[in-house]
Amino acid sequence: RDESLINASFGKQYLETMDFIFETYSSLVEPMKEYFKTLKNRSQAEYDVTGEGVKRKYHELTDEKDQKAFRLTYNFDLRSKACDVLRGLLPLSTLTNVGMFGNGRFYQTLISHLLTTDIPEAQKIGQKAFEAASQIIPQYVRRARRNEYVVENHKKMRALAETLFDRERPEVPESLPKITLVNDAESRDVSVIASMLFPYTKLSLETLRAEVRKLTGQQRKEVIEIYVGSRKTRRDRPGRALEDGYPYTFDMVTNWGVYKDLMRHRMNSQQRQLFSPKIGFDMPEELKKAGFEKQALECVKKADALFDSMSKISPILAQYSVLHGHFVRWSISMNDREAMHMLELRSTPQGHPEYRRAAQMMHQEILRRSKWRGEMMNFVDYGDYYWSRADSEARQRVKEKKLDEKEEENKQ
């Protein structure tokens, strides 16, 4: 509810739309839990709540504490499944708690990035962080400031991209989600220039590479010169496109929730295009089967209408209206070691089904290109775990049980 949103011409529509979406989300949690009860009755459920390595049904437990742990696990199992399905309805304006730690140089860089962004909310957070850090580590954050070099480069690159590729609507794949391992045989210049343009367009990397091949030498030179800009100091560094050259570059079209889960990995290079609802929405099958597709579509419809109103004023702020279930285009590049770590981790049983699917699709792309590389990532899990949070919830009860036992010992 930043002032930049509330006080804008679309402010009233923004508030009404957000309230409607959040109310719809909240109202569907319990009904979805009831739906999942029909798929997993408590008498049929099995959990290892004792920590003995054996899953038991409720009637097989005799200890009152174990029975209570079972009931809690069952309730959280259903609730987490309901929230996993419903999360696609949440807008990007949803607040998130974030905790972090780092050294002085990290905070100086972080604050500078926040102050440099076009998003007023992030600028305010950056200013507050600067004021707080200045009271404790002033010598480490004194250089933290808005980087006009980056601001100017972004502005000019957006204008150039619009001139070269004037498209109102984004490039939409035939099937969604779509994950493509981009051809690594491309010439270095074409690949880098396409990466320079990627965040400022609505095109796939493959399409951009094809378009870059058509550019004249002078046009390519113009892209490079504007992207690099006028560097005043060694700290004025161009963007992520200059990191191009990893063994794997994936052009990703996933829903925003998957992007949120995978973008947290750091040993790679990522770029994204402006978030938009125009590629489409990933409607969970469970919402359809439970009979709540109509309510979900109403949220999508209102979010799309809000985006259209906001984008006329500010394409940057319009991103707040995008839902977690909307498809977005982004890219991620990495080496074999990071691919092994990321894909094996993000395909584990307790992961969200959608990002597990994305990890599996990325692994399939690697296997198609180089069988031995894909085969060495032998812990990528292709198993089907519909109740993916069940075991992790049961393990939580075991941890709680051990803590309770420890407290009892300390009292004696």
pLDDT band at 141 (very low <50, low <70, confident <90, very high): very high
pLDDT number for residue 404: 85
**Residues 188 and 245 sit within 8 Å (Cβ to Cβ):** yes
CA-nearest of 296, 278, 277 to 286 is: 296
Please tell me the predicted confidence (pLDDT) of residue 349: 94
381 within a domain of the structure (yes/no): no
The pLDDT, as a whole number, for residue 168 is: 76
Do 301 and 289 share a structural domain? yes
User: Is the same domain home to 140 and 153?
Assistant: no
Looking at the structure, do residues 391 and 367 belong to the same domain, yes or no? no
Tens digit of each residue's pLDDT (9 = 90 or more) over 81-97: 999 999 999 999 999 99
What integer pLDDT is reported at residue 185 of this predicted model?
Answer: 76
The count of structural domains within the chain is 3
- Looking at residues 373-382, what average pLDDT do you find? 98
User: Over pLDDT 70: what percentage of the chain?
Assistant: 100
pTM of the model: 0.92
Which single residue is written with the structure tokens 């210049």? 189
409: pLDDT strictly greater than 90? no
In a domain? residue 94? no
**HEC secondary structure over the chain:** CCHHHHCCCCHHHHHHHHHHHHHHHHHHHHHHHHHHHHHCCCCCCCECCCCCCCCECHHHCCCHHHHHHHHHHHHHHHHHHHHHHHHHHCECCCCCCCCCCCCHHHHHHHHHHHHHCCCHHHHHHHHHHHHHHHHHCHHHHCCCCCCHHHHHHHHHHHHHHHHHCCCCCCCCCCCCCEEEECCCCCCHHHHHHHHHHHHHCCCCHHHHHHHHHHCCHHHHHHHHHHHHCCCCCCCCCCCHHHHCCCCEEEEEEEEHHHHHHHCCCCCCEEEECCCCCCCCECCCHHHHHHCCHHHHHHHHHHHHHHHHHHHHHCCCHHHHHCECCEEEEEEEEECHHHHHHHHHHCCCCCCCHHHHHHHHHHHHHHHHHCHHHHHHCCCCCCCCCCCCCHHHHHHHHHHHHHHHHHHHHHHC
User: Domain check: are 250 and 393 in the same one?
Assistant: no
The answer to the question of residue 265 being in a domain is: yes
Q: Angle 168-211-229 (CA atoms, 0-180°, nearest 5)?
A: 85
Instruction: Report the length, in residues, of the chain.
Output: 412
Range of the domain at 207: 147-376
- For residue 17, pLDDT over 90 is answered with yes
CA-CA distance, 386 to 111, in Å (whole number)?
Answer: 41
In the chain, the amino acid numbered 352 is H
Mean pLDDT of 358-367: 98
Q: What is the CATH number of the domain that holds 227?
A: 3.30.70.3180
pLDDT at 134: 96
Across 61-67, average pLDDT: 95
- pLDDT of 323 reads 99
Q: Are residues 350 and 211 in the same domain?
A: yes
Q: Tell me whether residue 95 is in a domain.
A: no
Q: Are residues 183 and 117 in the same domain?
A: no
For residue range 150-165, what is the model confidence (pLDDT) as tens digits? Answer: 999 999 999 999 999 9
Residue 70 placed within a domain: yes
∠ at Cα 154 (148, 160), nearest 5°? 135
pLDDT tens string 225-241? 999 999 999 989 999 99
80, 115, 146 - which closes a domain: 146
As a whole number of angstroms, the distance between CA 66 and CA 46 comes to 12
Average pLDDT, the chain: 95
Is 71 within a domain?
yes
Check residue 334 and give its pLDDT: 97
Whole-number pLDDT of residue 265: 94
Residues 28 and 8 in one domain: yes
Q: Are residues 163 and 52 in the same domain?
A: no
pLDDT at 411: 79
